[in-house]
């Protein structure tokens, strides 16, 4: 059925990355503010829209290389289940919806979402072929998601959280490259993604060690920073750090021992250990950040 192929084209599973727009509201202490939370939901939907457009453009530009990939050859455009014309028409409809939603939010949000689109165009048509810079552009996309989420509700972002996002997104991007290099038919990876010919497993492992270390250190420093302690009136946020460390180690284990990582969203949604760990991280962070507000509600 054509509608199912169109839905597959915009990759709903990849929308998980857009949850980064909720990071500012969580760490700003406004997650229980209904008005701001609804604005964040609109921001999330808008990013799902713009990222879907990017996926469509990417699939059109990568159609030939996708056809020689063991999995990507089944994508709607590569398999010819959806024509380029149909895909572009669908992209226009999504763009109109995304614009309407963005107009309801702030001007700064619109700037970030346009920047996200432009940067991804550069990535799709040029940067994805440039070693190292390709994963940095992926990282910029995550930063823009978080900045846009903050702009949608008018809250500032901690510098340490920005640094954490940079390192974490680099870690995910490099892990994806590492997994692509480790696949069984790795001798043909340069046909599937040209930039992979400029990477190798030892090099990606070295970069990933740096990115993982940076993620853990920056997050830990965020939890004990003076601004964080003054904002939440507690030093207890540091107790969420072990969950971050475990999550990074578990992800690295899946990359090195299970040859996963080519699809980060599948790891996050299917690995039970990571799901449970993320749940306990969120619950712990939520209780620490919102304990005063929760006590006030209980008193009422």
DSSP letters spanning 4-27 = HHHHHHT-GGGGGGGGGGGHHHHH
pLDDT of residue 139: 93
- Residues 6 or more apart from 126 whose CB is under 8 A from it? none
pLDDT of residue 297: 60
pLDDT of residue 185: 58
For 107, other C-beta atoms within 10 Å of its C-beta total 9
Rounded Cα gap, residues 32 and 29, in angstroms: 8
- Residues 6 or more apart from 15 whose CB is under 8 A from it? 48, 51
Distances (CA, A) of 13 to 129, 131, 151, 188, 205: 25, 26, 25, 26, 26
pLDDT of residue 129: 87
H helix or E strand, kind and range, residue 103 = helix 84-103
Q: Which domains does the chain have, with CATH numbers?
A: 1-157 (1.10.357.140)
pLDDT of residue 296: 66
pLDDT of residue 188: 57
Spell out the per-residue pLDDT of the chain, length 300, in tens: 578 888 888 888 889 899 999 999 999 889 889 999 999 999 999 999 999 999 999 888 888 777 777 777 878 888 888 888 888 999 999 999 999 999 888 889 999 999 999 999 999 888 888 999 999 999 999 999 999 999 999 998 889 999 999 999 999 999 988 888 887 655 555 566 778 888 888 999 999 999 999 999 999 999 999 989 998 888 999 999 999 999 999 999 998 887 776 677 778 888 999 999 999 999 999 999 998 777 666 555
pLDDT of residue 124: 84
pLDDT of residue 126: 87
- pTM of this structure: 0.88
């Amino acid at each position: 059925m054509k509608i199912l192929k169109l839905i597959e084209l915009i990759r709903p599973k990849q929308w998980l990355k857009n949850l980064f727009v909720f990071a500012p509201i969580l760490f700003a202490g406004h997650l229980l503010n209904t008005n701001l939370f609804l604005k964040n939901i609109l921001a999330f939907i808008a990013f799902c829209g713009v990222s879907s457009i990017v996926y469509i453009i990417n699939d059109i530009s990568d159609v030939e290389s996708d056809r020689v990939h063991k999995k990507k050859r089944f994508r709607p455009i590569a398999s010819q289940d959806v024509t380029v014309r149909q895909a572009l028409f669908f992209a226009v409809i999504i763009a109109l919806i995304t614009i309407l939603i963005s107009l309801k939010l702030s001007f700064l949000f619109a700037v970030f979402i346009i920047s996200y689109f432009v940067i991804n165009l550069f990535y799709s048509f040029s940067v994805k072929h440039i070693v190292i810079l390709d994963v940095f552009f992926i990282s910029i996309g995550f930063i823009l998601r978080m900045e846009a989420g903050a702009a949608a509700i008018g809250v500032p972002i901690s510098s340490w959280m920005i640094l954490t996002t940079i390192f974490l997104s680099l870690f995910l991007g490099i892990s994806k490259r590492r997994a692509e290099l480790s696949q069984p038919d790795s001798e043909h990876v340069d046909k599937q993604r040209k930039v992979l010919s400029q990477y190798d497993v030892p090099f990606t492992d070295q970069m990933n060690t740096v990115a993982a270390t940076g993620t853990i250190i920056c997050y830990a420093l965020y939890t004990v920073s003076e601004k964080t302690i003054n904002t939440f009136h507690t030093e207890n946020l540091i107790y969420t750090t072990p969950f971050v460390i475990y999550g990074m180690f578990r992800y690295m284990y899946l990359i090195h021992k299970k040859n996963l990582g080519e699809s980060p969203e599948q790891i996050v949604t299917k690995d039970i250990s990571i799901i449970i760990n993320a749940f306990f991280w969120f619950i712990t962070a939520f209780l620490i950040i919102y304990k005063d507000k929760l006590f006030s509600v209980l008193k009422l």
